[in-house]
C-alpha cells in the first residue's frame, strides 16, 4: 500500500518518542522549537545510511530503523552527552506502508528507550537513503572529546570487539543472516549505543570515541587528534566466544582490530582513575577491558601474544579511499 507524503509523516513520524517538556514545537511546523537547558552544551551529530553501501536491499526495515538511530546515539555516547532530540531525513523509492511501519517501529522502540523525541525531518523520493541527526546535552566541564589523550593514559574498551564484523563476514555469500547465531547477528543489525557508559565516563575519561570503523582506525583518530601514539596488546582485547573461536581457527586478527560497526566506546584515562572507572562500569553491568597505553611516539603498535608487533593492521572503511 502507498501513502501520500503528509499521511506518511502524520502516521509514522509525528508521535515518535517523547513527549518531552523541552520540545516547544515538534513535527508539523516549519521549524522545531527546542529548549536547551541553561549551562549545557548542545551536542549534535548526523549520520547517513545508504542502501548498497551501509546495508543491503534485503535488510529488515525494523532493524534499519533501530540502527539508523543507534549509530547516531553512539556518537552522543562517545561525547558523554545525554540524548534529547532527533530529526530524520528519509529518501524512499516508494511509500511502502509495510516497510514504513517496520522502520518506524524499530526507530521508535530505541527512541523511547533513551527518551529521544523525533522533532522533525524531511521526506523525499529517490534511492533509499536514511539520514538521522541527533541532539543531546553535555556538561561543558565533563564532555568527552577525541583530542585529550596524554602519554601514560590507559586505553579502555567497553563490551567486546569484532562481533559485527564477524556477523557480516559469516552472512556474506550465504545470502542472509540465517545460520548465524542470533546474538551475533544482533550485534551487526541492532547495536546498542553505550549511552549510560558514556555519561559515566564523562569527567573520568580523558579522551573517547565510539568504534564505528574498527579499533585501529578509531583509536588512530584519538592518537592523531591528540598528537600521541598507542601500544595495545592483542591478548587483552575483549573477544566474544564466537570471535575468539574464529581467530583460533583462522589466525586472523583483523576482525577485532579493523572490523567496524561494533559501536563500543574506546577511551583513555589517567592511571589514577582506573579504579573509579572499573567501579562505574561494574555498577552499569558493562563488561570492559584495559587494552594498552597511550605513548608519545605517534602510530599504533599492536603487540601479539608472542610479543611481536602485528603488521598491516591499519585502516577501516574509507568512502573515498582508493581500492
All three cell numbers of 233: 596488546
**Distance of closest approach, residue 122 Cβ to Mg ion, in angstroms:** 4
Residues written for the chain: 323
SS3 sequence, 241-287?
HHHHHHHHHHCCCHHHHHCCCCCCEEEEECHHHHHHHHHHHHHCCCC
* 3 state SS of 301: strand
For ligand ADP, give the closer residue by CB, 10 or 139.
10
Q: How far is the CB of 26 from ligand ADP (least distance, A)?
A: 8
Contact between 88 and ligand ADP per CB under 6 A: yes
Closest CA relative to residue 292, chosen from 255, 243, 239, 237 = 237
Considering beta carbons, is residue 69 or 71 the nearer one to ligand ADP? Answer: 69
Q: Which of 81, 90, 232, 277 lies at the binding interface for ligand ADP (CB under 6 A)?
A: 90
Which residue from 23, 27, 205, 232 is in contact with ligand ADP, where contact means CB under 6 A? 27
Question: Contacts with ligand ADP: how many residues (CB under 6 A)?
Answer: 13
| Distance spanning both ends of the chain, measured CA to CA | 41
One of 79, 118, 242, 313 touching ligand ADP (CB under 6 A): 118
Q: What angle do CA 14, 93, 117 make, to 5 degrees?
A: 20
C-alpha cell at 66: 533501530
Residue span binding ligand ADP (CB under 6 A) among the ranges 22-30, 170-178, 282-290, 315-323: 22-30
Rule CB under 6 A: choose which of 123, 225, 274, 289 binds ligand ADP: 123
The listed partner (ligand ADP, Mg ion, none) that binds 249, CB under 5 to 8 Å by sort, is none
Distant-in-sequence, close-in-space partners of 5: CB < 8 Å, separation ≥ 6: 95, 123
Q: Is 107 in the site for ligand ADP (CB under 6 A)?
A: no
Identify residues 1-20 at the interface with ligand ADP (CB under 6 A).
Answer: 9, 13
Assess contact for 102 and 62: CB atoms under 8 A.
Answer: yes
Shortest Å, Cβ 118 to ligand ADP: 5
- Of these, 122, 147, 235, 252, which contacts Mg ion (CB under 5 A)? 122
Q: Is the dihedral of CA 305, 308, 309, 311 positive or negative?
A: negative
Site for Mg ion in 24-53 (CB under 5 A): none
Query: Which residues of the shown chain bind ligand ADP in the complex (CB under 6 A)?
Result: 9, 13, 27-30, 88, 90, 118, 120-123
Amino acid at each position: 500500500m502507498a501513502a501520500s507524503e503528509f499521511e506518511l509523516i502524520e502516521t509514522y513520524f509525528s508521535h515518535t518518542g517523547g513527549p518531552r517538556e523541552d520540545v516547544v514545537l515538534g513535527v508539523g511546523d516549519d521549524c522545531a522549537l527546542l529548549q536547551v537547558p541553561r549551562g549545557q552544551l548542545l551536542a549534535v551529530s548526523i549520520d547517513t545510511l545508504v542502501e548498497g553501501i551501509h546495508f543491503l536491499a534485503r535488510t529488515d526495515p525494523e532493524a534499519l530503523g533501530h540502527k539508523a538511530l543507534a549509530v547516531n546515539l553512539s556518537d552522543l555516547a562517545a561525547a558523554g552527552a545525554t540524548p534529547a532530540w532527533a530529526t530524520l531525513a528519509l529518501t524512499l523509492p516508494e511509500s511502502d506502508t509495510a516497510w514504513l511501519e517496520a522502520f518506524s517501529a524499530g526507530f521508535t522502540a530505541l527512541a523511547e528507550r533513551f527518551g529521544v523525541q523525533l522533532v522533525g525531518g524531511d521526506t523525499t523520493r529517490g534511492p533509499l537513503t536514511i539520514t538521522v541527526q541527533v541532539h543531546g546535552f553535555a556538561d561543558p566541564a565533563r564532555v568527552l572529546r577525541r583530542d585529550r589523550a596524554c602519554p601514560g593514559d590507559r586505553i579502555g574498551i567497553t563490551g567486546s570487539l569484532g562481533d559485527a564484523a564477524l556477523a557480516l563476514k559469516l552472512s556474506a555469500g550465504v545470502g542472509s543472516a540465517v545460520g548465524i547465531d542470533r546474538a551475533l547477528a544482533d550485534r551487526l543489525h541492532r547495536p546498542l549505543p553505550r549511552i549510560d557508559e558514556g555519561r559515566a565516563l564523562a569527567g573520568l575519561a580523558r579522551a573517547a570515541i565510539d568504534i564505528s570503523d574498527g579499533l585501529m582506525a578509531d583509536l588512530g583518530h584519538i592518537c592523531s587528534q591528540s598528537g600521541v601514539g598507542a601500544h595495545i596488546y592483542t591478548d587483552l582485547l575483549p573477544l566474544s566466544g564466537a570471535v575468539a573461536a574464529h581467530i583460533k581457527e583462522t589466525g586472523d586478527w583483523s576482525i577485532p582490530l579493523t572490523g567496524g560497526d561494533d559501536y563500543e566506546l574506546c577511551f583513555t584515562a589517567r592511571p589514577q582513575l582506573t579504579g573509579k572507572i572499573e567501579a562505574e562500569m561494574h555498577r552499569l553491568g558493562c563488561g570492559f577491558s584495559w587494552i594498552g597505553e597511550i605513548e608519545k611516539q605517534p602510530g599504533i603498535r599492536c603487540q601479539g601474544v608472542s610479543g611481536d608487533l602485528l603488521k598491516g593492521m591499519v585502516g577501516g572503511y574509507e568512502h573515498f579511499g582508493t581500492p
